[in-house]
Amino acid sequence: MLNLRITAYLSTPLAAYDNWSPSIDSLLEWMLLDKLGLVSPNPTPQQVEDSRTIVAANMPITKGDLKGQWYWQVSSPCYTILAENQDRFRKRWEPGIDTPNPNWGKRKAKVDTSQGAEKSYDLPLPLRTIDRIDWYAIGDVEGVQSLLEPCTSLGKKRSIGNGQISRWQTIPIEYDWHLWGKNGELMRPIPLECMPVDRPIDFAPLRWGWRPPSWLHTNKTNCAMPIHNVRRLTDAP
């Protein structure tokens, strides 16, 4: 296994609500399960547990250990925001030619636009113009590249053209920056109890899913979050 830099070159803005997504380890796990024909859009905790042995045996990323807790040795996304703006995405159920009638199934025929399939919404969508996203990792070059090649978009609302990827690049580099960066900065979320106490380190505390899948309750804990992985052109050097 080698020290790696994984790069996604983007051709359209990224829709993201935080500075720690998209998570490359989550993406690699998803792409791996999809390749093996085992992916599920809404897996149960038991299905996740059942897939752990298969994922561990085929994942092209090295597994690390922090005070007895395993994790994939990958950093958070690193990029510079060139421009920002806010779009909105909306949904409103209306009967008519363009909107089919709901499939009521066994439900009582009643429209409730505050919940369920007929729910209406008007929500903000923050967009970030960036030219590339870098992640640092320890893993196998060809294994990572082959899994990522079929992935053509990242972030939220990909179906409407956000986060389109023009190409992936995975290359070996000299240094291991998956956990600590060039200047000793934190590069990925880790549990607060795993933070060093022998030196000052900038971080933001947040409850976070630090291992994939991030939605799983057992993968969430109070974490130290990196604060230097995303920068803006206006940031002071």
Query: pLDDT tens digits, residue range 179-228?
Result: 999 999 999 999 999 999 888 899 999 999 999 999 999 999 999 999 99
Q: Which of 12-26, 93-107, 112-126 has the highest mean pLDDT?
A: 12-26
What pLDDT, on the 0 to 100 scale, is given for residue 3? 98
> What mean pLDDT do residues 144-165 have?
93
* Structural domain boundaries in the chain: 2-84+125-182
Q: Which two tokens stand for residue 218?
A: 């057992």
In CATH terms, 2-84+125-182 corresponds, of 2.30.30, 3.30.70, 3.30.200, 1.10.287, to 3.30.70
Tokens 């597994």 -> residue: 63
User: DSSP of 175-230, one letter per residue?
Assistant: S--SSB-TTS-B-S-EEGGGS-SSS----EEEEEE-SSSTTSGGGEEEEEE-SSSE
